[in-house]
Chains A and B, each alone.
Chain A
């Protein structure tokens, strides 16, 4: 029952998001054709005929009534057709997304997960050993978190790539030596190129997890059930993990769900700094080019990933927090 209700809620949310997704790009000033024409105007005056031809080509003919556009939009969504990207014309949006998504998912997704896990572990230990030297290191990680990501990334690029030459400057892999395929060469190159971006994400976001978890740990440790667990003579590890950390982690897990949802959409700056061929880059280009179809496709993916991450955590929460399970039973 509760699962059904939850799914219904998510469906409504999805539908609302899809409708916004339709509306928002249309509220932006100008249109993809005029932006593209700006690039062509130096080759000769842009005639109304050229403009009309491109409007037809890109399907931005505004003479179609808006409700018709909306219906067409819903219908093509239902058939999995997200339209054709203007930026990457005539590539279908699905293909653009399919080629960009893995980069972002793997790099940002894995990094977010790793950051979360490491942050939780360090936060747990720091909270457990509150007042010791381990705990006193924590404020320094929050200083890192307060540095703007952009600035941090630039400094690291300067130090580690430009000056020390340890990491490449940017890109997804070495374009000259390999190309995307399932080979050791490509994978190792991709890993090498992902290392520095990953490092910057970890450094900039881990402080928050550590601090949050550490503080929750400290307050959880004074809970009666933790003292009871200690009085029961349980091993410190057991007390720390099963009694303290499992309870202290609950708020962080909700936060993790949110950040997982933003994996797909939240990496614009990183991908710009590192010229990383992922969703963030595609998104920026889509906005610059007023590429409605691509924007909508990306919004859709982001919406689904946010909702999906929330649903996942909702379900996961039922496992880790029996209190949430109770209502529906």
Chain B
């Protein structure tokens, strides 16, 4: 589980707001007094954003597996941590090392020896090969579309062969949970089998399950069992963010992924509670930018997009909608600081201050004239458009309210339209919108390739009216230089070459600006040092995801 504000909000969105208000004052109280304890040590209490009933699904190859089964019970070969810079090496888990060949089509992996499954069977290279071949043979599980064929090449080595160059797919492919062949090969249909008796290699095994909570217990046969002081982790399903926040503040959760507005103020009185930034949600206005793809409206004009970017008072948005926790945003969508090596020097972060005069000048130079209604117009077309936003996403909604006023000063009119999530998805998929407020998220590593490929390549864009990927290139931006550079970046491991290619891309996308940058919002996880210390910190973000077993090796009991 990744604890970001967005994810927690998405998962928690089920609950009615007013219900939350009541559970708010209550959530705790009722359930205090019976902390789980097992043998020695305190069981970690965790909340990952689940609402509704848990359903038993311990199949780590399934997209709806219970949270933390991947990571705590099952392990992958390597762990790629997106909080680390591009140059960082992945953490070996079941793998020892790997080598990618010149053209990125073959990965040779050496695995750890002496590892056993929790049922006592030895972990072997056959298990690894079986796992990858299973994924490849079942299109339903092949989420990269580029699943490799696997073959055991030695006692401890496996060769993964790809159909096409796979440099960018490697982190995702090597993050696949490895499953035991002796159990999964017996399954009639591995795609939907819930794997009710999970046998893994990770630090935890399944304890008990109920629809409201389940318990993972320490795996005594874990290879680093002596480093694990935590006797178990209990995961809860709660009615929503407010109930979870109450539980956290009542000292009943050790780790949680909850969207808490103004989190620093809320947590300030609690000295045990801390946060770790885990994700970067780059908040943008996504424009339907390309007329040739069928987009209509003034936002198809790059000058208009540039003018808007200039007129925005980012500091005000940060203070009012994000409680001052937002970071400067780069028009290249690299995270300022972490990704500096990938960001062209030509493009400093977007100014936090507005430049209304500059925006107006830009518009007037392009032939827009201020109308008597205070809104620019050109050829009879007013500089006015709708911005769609999912109802209930309060930070987005208040951002748009602020933007409406800010842009009005520059003679630009926006009309926020709240819609249900499903409607928004449909509009984004079909291109039936002018502007949407949105978040751009990074990939499995800090490599900017993922953002560029996903949001800017024409291969990811469908013409208006066709059923496209609502999480892909929704702006429908397309540019041959950018497409070529993205393709080239996918085919190289050389960091310097990548940076050069990214510079080419940035030279095009920054002036075109199909996504107008607003603010870089930090998603976070919350943890408590009341029972355990040794959590990942800003200085040492050794895991980004609290469900990675490595975390448990580092936690030390307070008593």
Task: Assess the A157–B22 pair: CB atoms within 8 A.
Answer: yes
Task: Assess the A285–B451 pair: CB atoms within 8 A.
Answer: no
Task: Assess the A48–B25 pair: CB atoms within 8 A.
Answer: no
Which chain B positions have C-beta within 8 A of A162? 22, 25-26
Residues in B2-16 with C-beta less than 8 Å from chain A: 2, 4, 6-7, 10-11, 13-16
From A36, A45, A100, A273, B453 is in contact (CB under 8 Å) with A45
CB distance from B429 to the nearest CB of A (A): 7
What's the Cα separation between A158 and B25 when bound, in Å?
9
CB distance from B59 to the nearest CB of A (A): 8
Task: Assess the A41–B422 pair: CB atoms within 8 A.
Answer: no
The proximity string for A residues 36-55 relative to B, scoring 1 for CB distances below 8 Å and 0 otherwise, is 11111111111111111110
Task: Assess the B143–A91 pair: CB atoms within 8 A.
Answer: no
Task: Assess the A49–B144 pair: CB atoms within 8 A.
Answer: yes
Task: List the B residue with the shortest CB-CB distance to A52.
Answer: B145
Task: Assess the A45–B454 pair: CB atoms within 8 A.
Answer: yes
Assess whether A326 is interfacial by the CB under 8 Å rule: no
Assess whether B165 is interfacial by the CB under 8 Å rule: no
From A34, A54, A176, A290, B63 is in contact (CB under 8 Å) with A54
Assess whether B421 is interfacial by the CB under 8 Å rule: yes
Which chain A positions have C-beta within 8 A of B139? 52-53, 56
Task: Assess the B441–A44 pair: CB atoms within 8 A.
Answer: yes
Task: List the A residue with the shortest CB-CB distance to B238.
Answer: A275
Residues in B328-379 with C-beta less than 8 Å from chain A: none
Task: Assess the A290–B422 pair: CB atoms within 8 A.
Answer: yes
With A39-B7, A51-B469, A57-B191: A29-B144 Cβ-Cβ less than 8 Å: no
Binds A, one of B112-120, B155-163, B209-217, B319-327: B209-217
Task: Assess the A37–B471 pair: CB atoms within 8 A.
Answer: yes
Interface centre among B191, B443, B469 (most CB of A within 10 A): B469
The proximity string for A residues 162-179 relative to B, scoring 1 for CB distances below 8 Å and 0 otherwise, is 100100111100011001
Interface centre among A44, A150, A157 (most CB of B within 10 A): A44
Task: List the A residue with the shortest CB-CB distance to B53.
Answer: A277
Task: Assess the A48–B467 pair: CB atoms within 8 A.
Answer: no
Assess whether A149 is interfacial by the CB under 8 Å rule: no
Assess whether B103 is interfacial by the CB under 8 Å rule: no
Which chain B positions have C-beta within 8 A of A284? 14
Task: Assess the A40–B52 pair: CB atoms within 8 A.
Answer: no
The proximity string for B residues 1-37 relative to A, scoring 1 for CB distances below 8 Å and 0 otherwise, is 0101011001101111011001101110111001000
Task: Assess the B425–A90 pair: CB atoms within 8 A.
Answer: no
Task: List the B residue with the shortest CB-CB distance to A162.
Answer: B26
Which chain A positions have C-beta within 8 A of B53? 88, 99-100, 277, 281-282
Assess whether A182 is interfacial by the CB under 8 Å rule: no
Task: Assess the A44–B26 pair: CB atoms within 8 A.
Answer: no
What's the Cα separation between A162 and B243 when bound, in Å?
13
The proximity string for B residues 246-288 relative to A, scoring 1 for CB distances below 8 Å and 0 otherwise, is 0000000000000000000000000000000001010000000
Which chain A positions have C-beta within 8 A of B427? 29
Assess whether A62 is interfacial by the CB under 8 Å rule: yes
Assess whether A84 is interfacial by the CB under 8 Å rule: yes
With A37-B471, A87-B52, A90-B57: A30-B23 Cβ-Cβ less than 8 Å: no
Which chain B positions have C-beta within 8 A of A88? 53, 55, 57, 64
The proximity string for B residues 405-448 relative to A, scoring 1 for CB distances below 8 Å and 0 otherwise, is 00000000000000011110111010000000001011110000
Task: List the B residue with the shortest CB-CB distance to A58.
Answer: B140
Task: Assess the A89–B454 pair: CB atoms within 8 A.
Answer: no
What's the Cα separation between A55 and B59 when bound, in Å?
18
What's the Cα separation between A40 and B454 when bound, in Å?
14
What's the Cα separation between A53 and B142 when bound, in Å?
6
CB distance from A255 to the nearest CB of B (A): 28
Assess whether A247 is interfacial by the CB under 8 Å rule: no
With A34-B470, A50-B143, A161-B26: A43-B2 Cβ-Cβ less than 8 Å: yes
Assess whether A272 is interfacial by the CB under 8 Å rule: yes
From B27, B441, B451, B472, A48 is in contact (CB under 8 Å) with B472
From B34, B64, B210, B212, A89 is in contact (CB under 8 Å) with B64
The interface size bin for chain B is: 35 or more
What's the Cα separation between A91 and B64 when bound, in Å?
10
Interface centre among B59, B279, B472 (most CB of A within 10 A): B472
What's the Cα separation between A40 and B2 when bound, in Å?
9
Assess whether A1 is interfacial by the CB under 8 Å rule: no
Task: Assess the A272–B471 pair: CB atoms within 8 A.
Answer: no
Assess whether A154 is interfacial by the CB under 8 Å rule: yes
Task: Assess the A171–B212 pair: CB atoms within 8 A.
Answer: yes
Task: Assess the B444–A42 pair: CB atoms within 8 A.
Answer: no
Which chain A positions have C-beta within 8 A of B469? 46-48, 51
Assess whether A35 is interfacial by the CB under 8 Å rule: yes
CB distance from A231 to the nearest CB of B (A): 57
Task: Assess the B421–A57 pair: CB atoms within 8 A.
Answer: no
Task: List the A residue with the shortest CB-CB distance to B11.
Answer: A39
With A47-B145, A57-B63, A162-B26: A285-B52 Cβ-Cβ less than 8 Å: yes
Which chain B positions have C-beta within 8 A of A154? 18-19, 22
With A40-B63, A168-B30: A49-B145 Cβ-Cβ less than 8 Å: yes
Assess whether B141 is interfacial by the CB under 8 Å rule: yes
Task: List the A residue with the shortest CB-CB distance to B280.
Answer: A42
Assess whether A288 is interfacial by the CB under 8 Å rule: yes
CB distance from B127 to the nearest CB of A (A): 22
Assess whether A28 is interfacial by the CB under 8 Å rule: yes
Task: List the B residue with the shortest CB-CB distance to A62.
Answer: B467
Q: Which residues of A contact B (CB under 8 A)?
A: 28-30, 34-54, 56-57, 62, 84, 86-91, 96, 99-100, 150, 154, 157-158, 161-162, 165, 168-171, 175-176, 179, 272-273, 275, 277, 281-282, 284-285, 288, 290
Supply 17 further A-B pairs (C-beta < 8 A) apart from A34-B470, A45-B471, A169-B26.
A34-B425, A34-B471, A42-B2, A43-B2, A44-B172, A44-B441, A45-B451, A48-B469, A50-B143, A50-B144, A54-B143, A57-B140, A89-B62, A89-B192, A90-B193, A100-B53, A150-B18
Q: Which residues of B contact A (CB under 8 A)?
A: 2, 4, 6-7, 10-11, 13-16, 18-19, 22-23, 25-27, 29-31, 34, 52-53, 55-57, 59, 62-64, 139-146, 172, 191-194, 210-213, 239, 279, 281, 420-423, 425-427, 429, 439, 441-444, 450-451, 453-455, 460, 467, 469-472, 523
The 9 closest A-B pairs by CB, nearest first: A49-B145, A29-B426, A45-B454, A90-B192, A46-B471, A57-B140, A89-B64, A30-B425, A175-B212
20 CB contacts below 8 A, A to B, read: A29-B420, A34-B429, A39-B10, A42-B4, A42-B439, A43-B444, A46-B469, A48-B469, A48-B472, A50-B143, A53-B143, A54-B140, A62-B467, A90-B62, A90-B64, A154-B19, A158-B22, A169-B30, A176-B34, A275-B239
